[in-house]
Amino acid sequence: MTDLRPSLLTIESIEVVYHGVIGALRGVSLAVPRHSIAALLGANGAGKSTTLKAASGLLAGERGEVIKGRIAYDGEDIAGLPPHLLVQRGLAQVLEGRRCFASLSVEENLLIGGHLRHRTATQLRRALDLIYTRFPRLPLIRRSAAGLASGGEQQMIAIGRALMSEPRMVLLDEPSMGLAPIVVSDIFDAVRALNQQDGVTFLLAEQNATQALRIADHGHVLENGRVLSHGTSSALMARDDIKRFYLGESASGRASFIDPHRVRVFEPFSLTNPGLAQPVPAQPGLH
Ligand SMILES: Nc1ncnc2c1ncn2[C@@H]1O[C@H](COP(=O)(O)OP(=O)(O)OP(=O)(O)O)[C@@H](O)[C@H]1O
Ligand SMILES: [Mg+2]
């Protein structure tokens, strides 16, 4: 079904290079409708983080550059705008790797996020209340050093810090990384509540396609810096190729993430057949 909600973020045919020569994205286009969750899926090195950094003004710090295409947020061309100006316009980002200030308390870490956008004490309190509602674990440890928090709690702090600026949209990079499935479910449930109950729009980069499509309205599959496929979450989840390559559901178990056109594909290791993995013939690609 066509989504008629106007897009809050639109990325049109962008090409990104690092260090002037290393191509990372080749003609990536996607649109994130207002008040939706869009998933950006793909294996290691597919270009998920690069797409998010391009949209959040963070490429320059890594000597990356958008050399072609257009990125618009709320109808405005945002190419070249630095991250703090984007945060002031309501576009916040949570980087891969949940960076926290280890020696500051959990609450101090959160409050830092409020200073990127000029906020009154009332606005800061309101944002803090929302974070503590969506992540009920955080008020229990608010005075502890963030460095003592678990990986899941640190991810909640990182998302919370972005929410302190009361953004309309959050670019969220790989929140599931290195976390136990139960913790991942809690975090994704909170993201869904922030979307459905608080109206925050998300672009969510994830290797964990199963969890991401569970909460997303629609998804884009990236491979080698290109969008290979896109559609509603339910349409993507129903597709055999997506199940096989990204959801770990096929008759023979989980297939490799690796592009069969580029390299050999190996059948998954099987407990009933614990021999060496064998190459299998190339599979049709995802289109
Ligand atoms: N700072 C950088 N300098 C040079 N090349 C980079 C840099 N960051 C990323 N790349 C390259 O750009 C491509 C896309 O990387 P990116 O980090 O966007 O992928 P990803 O989909 O986020 O992968 P992962 O799932 O491992 O986080 C890769 O080939 C990567 O090596
Ligand atoms: Mg990444």
Q: Closest ligand 1 atom to the C-alpha of 96?
A: 27
- Residue 264 located in a structural domain: no
Q: Closest ligand 1 atom to the C-alpha of 207?
A: 25
Domain count for the chain, please give it. 1
Q: Quick one: residue 42, left, alpha or beta (phi over 0 = left, psi -120 to 50 = alpha)? A: left
- Residue 276 located in a structural domain: no
> Is residue 61 within 6 Å of ligand 1 at its C-beta?
no
Burial class (CB in 10 A: 0-12, 13-18, 19+), 80: exposed
Per-residue pLDDT of the chain (287 residues; tens, 9 = 90+): 445 567 999 999 999 999 999 999 999 999 999 999 999 999 999 999 999 999 999 999 999 999 999 999 999 999 889 999 999 999 999 998 878 899 999 999 999 998 877 788 999 999 999 999 999 999 999 999 999 999 999 999 999 999 999 999 999 999 999 999 999 999 999 999 999 999 999 999 999 999 999 999 999 999 999 999 999 999 999 988 888 877 765 444 444 444 444 333 333 323 333 333 333 334 444 33
Predicted pLDDT at 4:
54
- Residue 261 located in a structural domain: no
- Residue 120 located in a structural domain: yes
Predicted pLDDT at 249:
55
- In this structure, what token pair is assigned to residue 191? 């993201």
Q: How far is CA 141 from CA 27, 41, 105, 123, 183, in A?
A: 44, 32, 9, 22, 16
- Residue 14 located in a structural domain: yes
Contact between 111 and 164 under an 8 Å Cβ cutoff? The reply is: yes
- Residue 153 located in a structural domain: yes
**186, containing H or E segment:** helix 181-196
Q: How far is CA 62 from CA 54, 58, 65, 81, 167, in A?
A: 11, 8, 9, 15, 24
> Is residue 47 within 6 Å of ligand 1 at its C-beta?
yes
pTM of the shown model: 0.86
- Residue 282 located in a structural domain: no
DSSP label of 217: S
Domain range for 44 is 7-249
Predicted pLDDT at 94:
96
Contact between 266 and 278 under an 8 Å Cβ cutoff? The reply is: yes
Predicted pLDDT at 261:
44
Q: Closest ligand 1 atom to the C-alpha of 222?
A: 21
> Is residue 62 within 6 Å of ligand 1 at its C-beta?
yes
The pick from 11, 44, 50 for probing ligand 1's pocket by mutation, whose C-beta has the most ligand atoms within 8 angstroms, reads: 50
Predicted pLDDT at 124:
93
Predicted pLDDT at 254:
41
DSSP label of 78: -
Q: Closest ligand 1 atom to the C-alpha of 205?
A: 22
> Is residue 272 within 6 Å of ligand 1 at its C-beta?
no
Domain of 188, CATH number, reads: 3.40.50.300
- Residue 187 located in a structural domain: yes
Give the integer Cα–Cα distance in Å for 11 and 7.
10
Dist. CA 51 → ligand 1 center (Å): 10
Predicted pLDDT at 45:
94
Nearest residue (CA) to ligand 1, atom 11: 24
- In this structure, what token pair is assigned to residue 9? 């973020």
